[in-house]
């Protein structure tokens, strides 16, 4: 039982390049989330999904896209990376709002955009 996994762990991009971050969970959770964490700030929600085939915008969605084609996977895409997207990205999953919504986090992806 791996929990929540993220790939890659670290990536360096040049401005304008694109990439996809992959999140996978094996807990059969309905809800999945993408956050970014920057120094001196709280975790900020980028996009989230309440089930397979559904996605919704969070607090800071601009410059990012997501897809949830399979229940266990949640992909975060950057179409044209900018230095302001340098951050640590965390994926999380949760069972759903009908229960205490404890979120389980992946190990994070450290992204540097030059």
- Angstrom distances, CA of residue 24 to CA of 3, 7, 8, 41: 8, 9, 12, 26
2 touches other proteins by CB under 8 A: no
Q: How far is the CB of 28 from other proteins (least distance, A)?
A: 18
Interface with other proteins (CB under 8 A), residue from 58, 61, 63, 77: 58
Contact 85, 21 (CB under 8 A): no
The three-class DSSP label of residue 85 is helix
60 touches other proteins by CB under 8 A: no
Q: How far is the CB of 53 from other proteins (least distance, A)?
A: 19
Retrieve residue 108's tokens.
């994070």
16 touches other proteins by CB under 8 A: no
Which CB sits closer to other proteins, 52 or 104? 104
Contact 34, 46 (CB under 8 A): yes
The mark string for 25-44 relative to other proteins (x by CB under 8 A, - otherwise) is ---------------xxxxx
């Amino acid at each position: 039982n791996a929990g929540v996994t993220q790939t890659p762990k670290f990536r360096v991009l040049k401005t304008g390049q694109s990439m996809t971050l992959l999140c996978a969970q094996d807990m059969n959770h309905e809800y999945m989330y993408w956050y970014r964490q920057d120094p001196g700030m709280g975790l900020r929600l980028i996009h989230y999904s309440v089930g397979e085939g559904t996605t919704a915008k969070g607090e800071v969605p601009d410059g990012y896209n997501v897809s949830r084609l399979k229940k266990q996977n949640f992909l975060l895409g950057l179409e044209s990376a900018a230095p302001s997207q340098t951050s640590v990205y965390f994926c999380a999953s949760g069972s759903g709002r009908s229960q205490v919504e404890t979120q389980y986090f992946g190990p994070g992806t450290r992204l540097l955009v030059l």
